Structure 1
Amino acid sequence: MPNSESPDGPPSFEDAFRGDDVEQRIYGTILQTREPTTASAIANVSDCDPKTARKYLGWFSELGIVTRHDGHPATYERNDAYFEWRRINQLAADHSVEDLQQRVRELSSRIEEYEDTYGAPTPAAVDAVATAESSDDRTIDDVYGDLGDWATARDERTRYERARQQRASTETEQVSG
């Protein structure tokens, strides 16, 4: 059977970091980790020596990319707060205050539509099964899709608003400084 993977194409999902250096492989492994994991397990996935993994994990911990949990053995997990902070900083750097404000308005409008449609203040307040069963035109998949989109819009609005505030603060400091 011929190999369907192109030599110039992306690596298979199972070996997504094969061409990267060890730092990138460890970083990529951390991004995929959903629970505290030992340096040895990370080294195994990253195809490197556990001492090398511990070295980079210590550095990532100092940067705030991972959280180190003491124990025997110590474990490491991705620091989601770091990635949230990074995303907000990138939004603030890439967009003007006006663009960010417009996006907050668009997301707020979408959120208000969902609040009106479902008669609830948040997606968590909606009983998806009961809503779908009482609807003539909405399936359970439709309702769950809406609830997911609504939750995403709420999260994005928070990010964009934080980025807007950050960008506005930076511009105010530049004008007054």
Structure 2
Amino acid sequence: MSETDASDGPPPFEDAFRSDDVEQRIYGTVLQTREPTAASAIADAADCDPKTARKYLGWFGKLGIVTRHDGHPTTYERNDAYFAWRRINQLAADHSVEDLQERVRELTSRITEYEATYDAASPAAIDAVAAAEESDERTIDDVYSDLADWATAREERDRYERARQQRTGGERERASG
């Protein structure tokens, strides 16, 4: 294998952001961060100077991408609410009100089927082990899969409904303005 062949593929996972500029590397590191993290640790992971990391983290904080936690040291945490808001805005921009309504109907139907199958209002109300033991048809893995899908469908329906409401509100404002 020649030296050029080795660089043609994707970077190794540990170094996934190496070819990006420093802003993208810091952003990528923030996306992977699951708990408040010091700027120096983010800088190490992004392979940049801590001062540069602090600069971008401050900017990301103003945009709402990260939450700053004062202390010694100051830490930064990915703001999951920002990413949820961004996803809803993207759904509203990419889909018509009719498409969003149809998706809400599809998800509601799937959720209703799970509620009837498990005789419960939410997946949190189900004891997976007991449900599998009571069923002749479903294994524990089937039940866990159903519960995960049910929870995902509820979250997705909420996102699509919020996007639909956002889109509907925007259309009403344009019609009345």
TM exceeding 0.5: yes
Q: Give 1:2 deviation, angstroms.
A: 9.0
Helix, strand or coil for the counterpart of 1:17? coil
How is 1:1-177 mapped onto 2 (pairs within 5 angstroms)?
6-177=6-177
Task: Calculate the aligned-residue CA RMSD, in Å.
Answer: 1.5
Helix, strand or coil for the counterpart of 1:121? coil
Helix, strand or coil for the counterpart of 2:67? strand
Q: Give 1:133 deviation, angstroms.
A: 1.3
After superposition, give the CA deviation of every residue in 1:87-134 in whole Å (9 maximum; x if it has no partner): 000000000000000000000000000000000000000000011112
Number of corresponding residues: 176
* Residue 2 to residue 14, structure 1, CA distance change in 2 (3 Å): farther
* Identity value in percent: 79
Helix, strand or coil for the counterpart of 1:71? coil
For residue 166 of structure 2, what is the amino acid of its counterpart? Q
Q: Give 1:29 deviation, angstroms.
A: 0.3
Q: How far apart are the structure 1 equivalents of 2:175 and 2:150? A: 37
Q: Give 1:8 deviation, angstroms.
A: 2.5
Q: Give 1:14 deviation, angstroms.
A: 1.1
TM-score normalized with structure 2 length = 0.96
Helix, strand or coil for the counterpart of 2:14? helix
Q: How far apart are the structure 2 equivalents of 1:95 and 1:50? A: 41
Q: Which runs of structure 1 show a deviation greater than 3 angstroms over 4 or more consecutive aligned residues?
A: none
